[in-house]
A and B are shown apart, each in its own frame.
Chain A
Amino acid sequence: MSTEQTGALHPGEHLDHEHKPRGITRWLYSTNHKDIGTLYLLFSLAMLFIGGSLAMVIRAELFQPGLQFVDPHFFNQMTTVHGLVMVFGAVMPAFVGLANWMVPLMIGAPDMALPRVNNWSFWILPCAFAILLSTLFMEGGAPAAGWTFYAPLSTTYSSDSTAFFVLAVHLMGVSSIMGAINIIVTIFNMRAPGMTWMKLPLFVWTWLITAFLLIAVMPVLAGVVTMVLTDKYFGTSFFDAAGGGDPVMFQHIFWFFGHPEVYIMILPAFGIISAIIPTFARKPLFGYESMVVATASIAILSFLVWGHHMFTVGMPVAAELFFMYATMLIAVPTGVKVFNWVATMWRGSMTFEVPMMFALAFIVLFTIGGLSGLMLAITPADFQYQDTYFVVAHFHYVLVTGAVFGIIAGVYYWLPKWTGVMYSERLAQTHFWCSLVSVNILFFPMHFVGLAGMPRRIPDYALQFADLNALMSIGGLLFGLSQLLFVWGVVRCMRGVGDKASDRVWEGAQGLEWEIPSPAPYHTFETPPVVK
């Protein structure tokens, strides 16, 4: 681990190099990894609230049984666009933003490998989402086939929004692939002298592997949406048995992308947690090498488990068994990680600032999500759970209390480095506790209604689920409101309100990013530091 290294800066180096461009073009034309990182993070925050508003529509409709506010078709549009916005607009860009900010600082690089391409990757994203969100206002409405857009829902039975959806996904893919290439090459080629592979902070390692996954599977997503497009508009029948194709083939190709995609959304969070826990436990990370190996094995295994999303579709028994065991195998490296985090804290001198609180919540709640995943991985059991709220509970535990909590933890952790001021601990603790309680009110009961048989993606439900659904809707509203506290805290720091942060910020923090001043100068490491 990089904990012992002192990123010896040669004295008198260009850290005062502050000629920032001014005005709007600073952001439009930027080649600065910090500015582009900020853009990504702000974009992601905006998407979090757009996606959140759609979720509010869903929860409002589900507050009571029966149809109150929206018709079923519109409800489907809400679940679909909510999923797409959160996955591709909120979670992924947030991680890319964190990578932009932190990877060059952590490895002692002057910037990303190709700064202009970096800017292009970012600005494609708002364009892609402009296309996607414009479908909400189109005749026939937005895509309504779910974020997984299974054929034939997305082909035979879809509106013309399909074409816009497909092209929007293509743009997101271009953005992600170029962004990932930039990150991977930065890590391969831009490490400061002495920053050997086994000294890389774990956030860098996890992003390296994430970037590999992105480059490997985003093109497959591009392929499958292209087939959806040609099936709908050009008379092909990839997913139509009458032409010799097979709708199940859609699921195979989609989930070959889809399962690595869920790891794309969690591996960087593992990296963040692996940075935060040692800082606040004031101990080096336990089992650094095993963390690296576990991350790599998760990535490799993630290519072999896609069938666990298709247990009920009618695969041969041999395939069902293969996917069941392969999926369970993933729990081993995941367990190694959880074990290592806990072992890092063992006999540490812990303090509980907000990044640590979110990290602790992450460990507990992500593990709940992992365990429900293991239940889902049991093929015969999944015949019962498939397409119920139990699945919804599973992936919200891993994605909201996992990925999103990881992002929030990282933002609080590095915010003082970015802005030069400490966030308000009281405000942030309030944010934490409100989020923690409300998120569990929102998602925990989903396990119960799911096991009892409440199907997902349906605007109405049987009467016996009414009480819990009302409770969940209240939890959802509270969780959404709690995030306003987050925005408030972040905006305060961005405006420079708060105590001045020291360079190291946290007593136990280790690594190159803490050797430079707070706020981080506009240009850093123009001459590489020597890592000992």
Chain B
Amino acid sequence: MSTTHQRYYVPHDSGWPIFGAVALLLVGYGAASWVTQAGKPEGGNGVYIFWAGIALLVVMLFGWFGTVIRESTSGLYSDQLDRSFRQCMAWFIFSEVMFFLAFFGALFYARVIAVPWLGGAGNNAMTGELLWPQFDAVWPVLKTPGGTETQPMPWSGIPLINTLILLASSVTLQVAHTAIELGNRARLKVFLGLTIVLGAVFLGFQVYEYVHAYRDLGLRLDSGIYGNTFFLLTGFHGLHVTIGAILLLVIWLRIVIKDHFTADKHFGFQAAAWYWHFVDVVWLNLFIFVYVL
């Protein structure tokens, strides 16, 4: 515990949280309505409610973080509060890990248990025989028991390039990190910028890969358990890359335009960097378990 007894900053009332709660209400209600209305001839307003909610959420993020930055630069924050931020971020990333674990769990269960059983493994010979005798229980499931067909996504090519890109982005980010600690602003700007560019290239390749999958391979979200796990895992990962890249971009803009952060106070930078490394690690697992194996 700090013995210096610097006061822990307890902020005054703030309207942003409830503003954000209403935004989430609109996002949630809008998304649910949208999903149920999509494809129905009469359509509906869900899509508008959803995007209105997202817009409010963005406004809230700007307002809230703006307040935090003002408070921080005016010296209200103690070391203890800084530790709170760090620990919160670490636990938040842990919760994200558990979210991905649910989908990896589904992948492993399908590969190790569900699909072999459908093919008659274990004591399920009759299941295979009576339900879908022609089903070939191999991974990837290119023909589902119900008969949907697809083709596999090879790991060489774009996925491999993307792996190298993300690994490289981790290195550039690390260089940027060292640069901020050494006070080398020029190098910081270049290498942080480079990281963002690499992230954007990654996303570009992924979009290209998705188009390729849909158009040429017939690999779709609804092509059975292989397509399901493929698109949900890579899709949620891509979403996280997008969020991470936006975080880094905001940090970069703050550095370039406002000259924020110093050699020893740069939690915002660090949080975004942690997040980026986490996204990176998830990708490595994805590459191994979704593509290669």
Q: Do they bind each other?
A: yes
Residue contact B13 to A242, C-beta cutoff 8 Å: no
Of B36, B98, B232, which one neighbours A236 at CB under 8 angstroms? B232
Residue contact A244 to B226, C-beta cutoff 8 Å: yes
Q: How far is the CB of A440 from chain B (nearest CB, A)?
A: 39
Query: Given A117-B17, A131-B28, A31–B10 Cβ distance below 8 Å?
Result: yes
Q: Kindly list chain B residues whose C-beta atoms are within 8 Å of the C-beta of A174.
A: 24
Query: Given A119-B14, A245-B114, A113–B91 Cβ distance below 8 Å?
Result: no
Q: Which of A117, A224, A236 has the most CB of B within 10 A?
A: A236
Interface residues of B in 244-280 (CB under 8 A from A): none
Interface residues of A in 1-35 (CB under 8 A from B): 21, 25-26, 28-31
Q: Kindly list chain B residues whose C-beta atoms are within 8 Å of the C-beta of A220.
A: 98-99, 101-102, 105
A85 in contact (CB, < 8 A): no
Minimum CB distance partner of B103 in chain A: A223
Interface string of A185-214 (1 = CB under 8 A from B): 100111111000000000000000000000
Interface string of A125-146 (1 = CB under 8 A from B): 0111011001000000000000
Residue contact A124 to B24, C-beta cutoff 8 Å: yes
Residue contact B225 to A528, C-beta cutoff 8 Å: no
Residue contact B102 to A246, C-beta cutoff 8 Å: no
Residue contact A31 to B14, C-beta cutoff 8 Å: yes
B148 in contact (CB, < 8 A): yes
Taken together as a complex, chains A and B put the C-alpha atoms of A253 and B105 apart, in Å, by 8
Interface residues of B in 137-173 (CB under 8 A from A): 141, 144-146, 148
Q: How far is the CB of A166 from chain B (nearest CB, A)?
A: 7
Taken together as a complex, chains A and B put the C-alpha atoms of A130 and B29 apart, in Å, by 9
Q: Which of A116, A227, A246, A526 has the most CB of B within 10 A?
A: A116
Q: Kindly list chain B residues whose C-beta atoms are within 8 Å of the C-beta of A127.
A: 21-22, 24-25, 28
Q: Which of A119, A134, A193 has the most CB of B within 10 A?
A: A119
Residue contact A527 to B5, C-beta cutoff 8 Å: yes
* Residues of A that sit less than 8 Å from B by CB: 21, 25-26, 28-31, 109-111, 113-117, 119-120, 123-124, 126-128, 130-131, 134, 160, 163-164, 166-168, 170-171, 174, 177, 180-182, 184-185, 188-193, 215-220, 222-224, 226-227, 229-230, 233-238, 241-246, 248-249, 252-253, 256, 316, 523, 526-528
* Residues of B that sit less than 8 Å from A by CB: 1, 3, 5, 7-8, 10-18, 20-22, 24-25, 28-29, 31-33, 35-36, 38, 64, 80, 83-85, 87-88, 91-92, 94-96, 98-99, 101-103, 105-106, 109-110, 113-115, 117-118, 122-123, 131, 141, 144-146, 148, 221-222, 224-228, 232
- Would you list the 4 A-B pairs with minimal beta carbon distance, nearest first? A223-B102, A235-B222, A244-B225, A242-B146
